[in-house]
Amino acid sequence: YQPLMQAKINREGVLADEAAFRKLLGINELEKTAEGQKEAELVMRKEFGNGPLVCTTPAISDGFMYIRLKRGIACYDLRK
């Protein structure tokens, strides 16, 4: 078994790798100072606080992946 992607789900339900979110949120720039590192931590917590529950397993059916989140369900179309 080898994972295809290591991803996170943000508060809007977007599924992407951490590098994409760091670029989108400007985290690398924020982390250049001590105060910015604190702000970056808050931004990341706010952005990903609604992610998947730790104990859940995604369900896959007919090319769709369903993930239970803290405040709802996310559905991703995995079909090509």
- The stretch 11-20 carries a mean pLDDT of 87
Instruction: Find the helix packing angle between 34-48 and 18-25, rounded to 10°.
Output: 120
- Rounded Cα distance between 74 and 15, Å, is 9
Tell me the pLDDT tens digit for each residue of 28-46. 999 999 999 999 999 998 8
Domain ranges of the chain: 7-77
How remote is the C-alpha of 32 from its chain's centroid? 23
pTM above 0.85, yes or no: no
User: Is 4's pLDDT higher than 80?
Assistant: no
State the virtual CA torsion across 60, 62, 63, 66 in degrees, nearest 10: -40
